[in-house]
Amino acid sequence: MVANAETILVRISGPDRPGITAGFMDRLAVSGAGLQDVEQVIIRGRLNLSMVIAVPKGQDLIKELLLYGWEQKIDVDFEVVEGGSPDRPLGLIVTVLGDDVDPAEFGAVASAVASHGGNIERIVRLAKYPVMAYELLVTGSDLELIREALLGVANALVCDIAVQREGLGRRAARLIVLDVDSTLIQNEIIDLLAEEAGCLVEVGEITERAMAGELDFGKSLEARVELLAGLDVAAARRARERVVFTPGARTFIRTLQRLGFRTAIVSGGFTLLTDDLALELGIDHSYANKLEVVDGHLTGRVEGQIVDRAAKATILRDLAQREGVSLDQVVAVGDGANDLDMLSAAGLGIAFNAKQIVRDAADMAVNVPYLDAILFVLGVRRGDIEAADAALGGSPPNP
C-alpha cells in the first residue's frame, strides 16, 4: 500500500511485441508506484493493457509513462479514479457457442444482460474450432433475473448460451457422467442389435409406444429384448463395428482425463457393447443393462436391475460418493427423457442435442453436434487442448 498516493487508471494500446509490459512495469517499480489491478488482452497482435496504479505524491510518473509509450510507438491514456480496489462479488460465466456467432447474436446476449442492470466485464474467445466459443463474465445485482433473461433469449437464437455461477468449483476436479445412445455415440444400441436379429421394425414400434407414454421404459425394454432371443453373441461384435462415436467424443474424454476428471457412462443400452466402448476410450466406470446369455445366444431377458431413469440417478449419486466428489461437482450429459433424473441430480445437467422436454429441464443445452464443445462450457480453451495433445506427441483427430 502506497501512502499519500493518487489512484490512476492507465490504458495502454498498440502493436504487441516482447518486452512492452515488462518495460512499463519497470517504470512503475522504479517510481515506487503500487499496482492495484491489471488486465491484458492481445487481439490480432494488438496489445490492450489496463492498470490501476497508486502514484506517490511528488512523482511525475505519468510523464515517464507517456514518454516511454512515445518511444515504443504505444498509445498511453490515463485518468484519476477513486482509491482502493474493492473485491467485486461473484458473477455469471456465460458461454456462447455456435458455428458462427454474429453481431446480432452478441447484441441479443448483451441486451439480455443489460435488461436487468447487468454488465459484461470480460469477453474471451475460447475456440474457433470445431465451433466458435466465447466466454463472458457478467456481473449485476440480480444474477437470477439476468440468468433467466439469457436463457430466454437463447431459445430465439441459432447459437447456444450456457450460464453458470462463477466460482472455484467450476474449475475443480469433477465427475462427468454421460449417457451413451445419441450422446457418446450417434447410434441406438438396441437398434443395432435389432438389425442383426431382423426385428428392427418391431423394435421401432415398441419404442414409439414408449415415447407415446403407453409403456414405461422398463416394460418397453423388456419387450424389445424379448425380440432379440436366439441372437448369437457374435452379432454384438458385428453391431459394435457399426457404432459411430459422436464427433469430438475422443477429444472430450481424452481431455477430461488429462485434467484429472473421472468419467462414467450410464446407459439404458447393454453391457455387450458399452463395456467395450468404455475400454476403448479409457472411461473409468461403465453401467448398462446386462443381457442374459446361454450357450452363446441371447435368451431375450435382462439380468438384474434395469438401468432406467431412476436407476441412472441412483448410480450417479453412488459414483459421486465412491469418488469422493460432491454432487455439486458432478456434470451429467444426456439427450432423452430417461436422463432427466440424472441431469437433475448432478450439479450441472447438460442437455446435448436433446429433445425439447430435456432442454427445458436441464441447467443448460448444447445443440452443436460436437461433444468436445462441452469442454468450452467447462472453461477449457481450444488452445489448451491442442497444447496438451502436442506435448504428448499428438493424438488422433476427431472424433
Q: Which residues contact 46 (CB under 8 A, 6 or more apart)?
A: 13, 14, 15, 16
* Homologous superfamily in CATH for domain 92-166: ACT domain (3.30.70.260)
Q: Where are the alpha helices (DSSP H) in 45-95?
A: 61-71
Q: Which of 100, 71, 76 is nearest to 10 (CA)?
A: 76
C-alpha to C-alpha distance for 12 and 28, rounded to whole angstroms: 14
Here the cell at position 51 is 492498470
Q: Are 124 and 162 in contact (CB under 8 A)?
A: no
Over the stretch 23-76, which tens digit does the pLDDT of each residue have?
999 999 988 888 888 888 888 888 889 989 888 877 788 889 999 999 999 999
- Domain extents for the chain? 5-80, 92-166, 175-188+231-391
Catalytic annotation, residues: 179, 181
Per-residue pLDDT at 304 exceeds 90 = yes
Residue 390: what pLDDT? 77
Per-residue pLDDT at 203 exceeds 90 = yes
Residue 387: what pLDDT? 80
Over the stretch 224-282, which tens digit does the pLDDT of each residue have?
999 999 999 999 889 999 999 999 999 999 999 988 899 999 999 999 999 999 999 99
C-alpha to C-alpha distance for 20 and 215, rounded to whole angstroms: 68
Torsion over CA: 377, 382, 386, 388 (sign): negative
Q: Are 94 and 159 in contact (CB under 8 A)?
A: no
Can you name the CATH fold of 175-188+231-391? Answer: Rossmann fold (3.40.50)
> Which H helix or E strand runs over 270?
strand 262-270
Cis peptide before 399 (omega within 30 of 0): yes
Q: How far is CA 279 from the centre of its chain?
A: 23
Residue 58: what pLDDT? 72
Judge if 5-80 and 175-188+231-391 fold alike in CATH terms. no
pTM of the predicted model, to two decimals? 0.83
Can you name the CATH fold of 5-80? Answer: Alpha-Beta Plaits (3.30.70)
Residue carrying the nine cell digits 462415436: 245
